[in-house]
A and B are shown apart, each in its own frame.
Chain A
Amino acid sequence: MSKLFPTYEIGSIAKPRWRVKGYAGRKLNQADLDDAEKWAKILGIDYSKVETVLKGDSPNRKQEIVDLSALYVLKMFEKAGLDYVYDGEQWRVEMYEHVIRNLGGFKFSGWIKSFDYRYFKKASVVEKVSYKQPYYLEEYESVKKQTNLPLKVPITGPYTLTDWTYNEYYEKKHSNIKSFPRRRYEARKELIFDIVDEALRPEFKKLADAGVKWIQIDEPAVTTKETPEEMELFVDAYNRLTEGFNIEFSLHNCFSNYNLLAQYVPSLKKCSQLSLEFANRDVHEEGQSHPGYDGLTAFLDNGYKGAYAPGFLDIHTDFIESPELVRDRVLYVADLVGKEKVWVTPDCGLRTRSWDVAYQKLLNLTKGKELAKELA
């Protein structure tokens, strides 16, 4: 495999209906089975084995279904021609809940409004954060057995886990601080470092022992607060989290304030690449002009030395980027940052797209990268 323009998907892929319903113990209808069969054919999976699981009543059926949907995604990525793969987070409920539900110290309540008629779940930390059981390890062990391609393990970063949590325990602990803003900040600092020390590092240790080579740290919340104090907290937590592991680390962040982020990423001690979201900011026309990517200069100007996966597929639209559009974007970015530093990815996980759209986008991503290689 040539090292120029390596490809991977960022994280999550939509869970098929047979995965969701099957996992919830609901009966699958013919349409669900037809969908599983259709994709088995496309991806070269033996459907008779799938059918046995889906129609069966084995005591391990839930886990078998999760394994199957992970296999489908792995095969989708392989078939699309990606160089690094994972399971599209088929093992996880959602990036926040998956981690928090497996830790001690947190309590979930009901639904909170995100916007309009969309809601999300948020937990309160009510006791000191503690490690209960592995939550990324089993997934990794299982995925490793299902593919020969190299793996990239996406995990949710400490800043995001902190920002999306109500902080009860640590604020109470700091109630001797009279100023509420100071009290909140000190409590937040202690929470984030406890998440690093008590929750994430123990899991990283297990992942390292199991042979994980590359962890992508997802931090969608990182520029939410937009203050220097908070950005420094993110940097400190990131450095503390990654210190001492013989693992390659990268950072993923999207739909954020990149001018601000760019000022802080050079301070990340172990961050070999940034995966970002620029396709969403770019024009849809092929050609030499792709101003959407000019925001990358902020990272260069601030002296970030690692590689860039700036995002070549917009994950919020069904518009299928042509291989030529991907090619032109890749070449444009190669001119900006240097071709050896360009990695080819979507903007973020393709979870909000149907499998038909996601697969077609990924196929064009790898075709586009091949076209770019010929010209680079």
Chain B
Amino acid sequence: MNIKCSISGCLPRPPRLISETRKYDRSRINEEELEAAYRTYTKEVIDYQVEQGLTYINDGYLRRQDLLRPFTTKLKGVETGQLYRWFNNNTFYRIPLIKGKLEGKAPFNETYLDLLPKAEYKAVLPAPYTFVKLAKNEYYESDADFLQDIAEIINAEIKALEKQGYTYIQLSDPALVYHKTAPSKNEISSIAAAIEIATSGVKARTGLQTYFGNIEPVLADVLDWKVDDIGIDYYETDADAVKEYSFKGGVSLGLVDARNTLKEDSDELVSICNEVIDASNPVSLMVATNCDLDFLTWEEAQYKIETVAKVAKQLKEEQR
């Protein structure tokens, strides 16, 4: 069994970086000084992941204002709209207003590539369906057309990131499982087709990370989609329900709760992993957080990263 571990998304800004962003917001420092702060703290969050021994490292996406923002601000055909609630959280994103045909020059997700060590690194992008559900479409005649265009843009973006050296691409798909945005049965085939377009010709490992909702209603379908790993939020999905399914590929288990400060019991998490391995027989198992870690402070996020690494280590030892 191939055991891995990583964080399912971005990291929180460390406190001193928060102070710098506030200074910038109040025009007390300039863009250059802000950028210097971003570089300093990006290095810090990268180093911490390396130190803890995560399989895939990301740059923390400290600068990214929300998951959709690079798309909202860099693509043609999109305008930045008002703040909307980020699913069922007390945090907000700016809605992409789709005004014309989507076009973009990949890569438009800025990353701190030069700060990443010689390791496997992971890029985090929105899945096509989540982008479509969270945007306000004022241009495309149907969601299916919109889905197809955004899937092509994501595909070009993935390929560009792959060229830069990314070996793992996470497509974040909370809308697929969140109870208010989950698709109806007849939407499933076009979502599957969009995933196929998005990952077509990609050599990097891909993962569809679902969170904020129960994956079970769509799990039987998702198992056939063109992604290597399927990510599950264990704080929304009942562990016993997952055991009913066999995995053809890998699984990414969102076992460390990024929305609560409680320190998990690593033994309990290891035993859930073992149950999944026994019942569902995945090709590989990624120990992960259930979602982005920016619902916590950097200090709290550090012990969550530590827990992810600890569970993976313990599991590897037991699997030997």
User: Which A residues are within 8 Å of any B CB, using their own CB?
Assistant: 109-117, 119-120, 122, 124, 163-164, 166-168, 171-172, 175, 178-182, 184, 221, 224-227
Contact = CB atoms under 8 A, between A and B. Distances in A.
A166 B261 contact: yes
B158 to A, nearest CB: 26
What are the 8 tightest A-B residue pairs by CB atom distance, in nearest-first order? A115-B92, A110-B297, A117-B25, A166-B261, A168-B262, A124-B261, A117-B21, A225-B88
Contacts of B297: 109-112
Interface in B235-249: 235-240
A227 B179 CA distance: 8
Contact of A166 (B93, B94, B238, B260): B260
Contact of A115 (B15, B93, B214, B259): B93
Interface of B: 12-13, 15, 18, 21-22, 24-25, 65-66, 83, 85, 88-94, 179-180, 214, 234-240, 257, 259-262, 265, 268, 294-300
B299 A110 contact: yes
Contacts of A109: 261, 297, 299-300
Contacts of A113: 12-13, 91, 294
Contacts of B24: 117
Nearest to A160: B90
Given A112-B296, A166-B260, A181 B90 contact: no
B219 to A, nearest CB: 15
Contact of B91 (A114, A171, A181): A114
Residue of B83, B94, B298 with highest tally of chain A CB at under 10 A: B83
A110 B19 CA distance: 11
A113 B265 CA distance: 27
B239 A178 contact: yes
Nearest to A260: B180
A133 B65 CA distance: 39
A179 B296 CA distance: 23
B260 A168 contact: yes
Contact of A221 (B21, B66, B90, B259): B90
A144 B294 CA distance: 43
Nearest to B262: A168
Given A112-B295, A221-B90, A181 B238 contact: yes
Nearest to A230: B88
Contact of A112 (B12, B88, B93): B12
A86 to B, nearest CB: 25
22 contacts: A109-B297, A110-B15, A111-B297, A112-B91, A112-B295, A112-B296, A113-B294, A115-B66, A115-B94, A117-B25, A119-B18, A166-B262, A168-B260, A171-B262, A175-B268, A178-B240, A179-B239, A181-B235, A181-B236, A224-B90, A226-B179, A227-B179
Nearest to A256: B85
A45 B6 CA distance: 61
Contacts of B12: 112-113
B205 to A, nearest CB: 26
Given A112-B295, A178-B239, A181-B237, A226 B265 contact: no
B180 A111 contact: no
A59 to B, nearest CB: 32
Contacts of A180: 234-235, 238-239, 257
Nearest to A169: B262
A13 to B, nearest CB: 22
Contacts of B65: 115-116
B93 A226 contact: no
Contacts of A227: 179
Contacts of B235: 180-181, 184
A117 B34 CA distance: 12
A168 B214 contact: no
Given A124-B261, A184-B235, A224-B88, A115 B83 contact: yes
Nearest to A109: B297
B64 to A, nearest CB: 11
A180 B234 CA distance: 7
A172 B264 CA distance: 9
Contacts of A226: 88, 179-180
A177 to B, nearest CB: 11
A124 B21 CA distance: 25
A224 B21 CA distance: 27
A182 B296 CA distance: 22
A175 B93 contact: no
B279 to A, nearest CB: 14
A166 B257 CA distance: 11
A178 B240 CA distance: 9
B90 A120 contact: yes
A175 B268 CA distance: 10
A167 B260 contact: yes
Residue of B18, B180, B237, B262 with highest tally of chain A CB at under 10 A: B262
Nearest to B237: A181
A124 B297 CA distance: 12
Contacts of A119: 18, 22
B85 to A, nearest CB: 7
Contacts of A111: 15, 18, 297
Given A175-B265, A226-B88, 18 more contacts: A110-B15, A112-B12, A112-B295, A113-B12, A113-B13, A114-B90, A114-B91, A115-B94, A117-B21, A117-B22, A122-B90, A164-B90, A166-B261, A167-B260, A179-B240, A180-B234, A181-B214, A224-B85
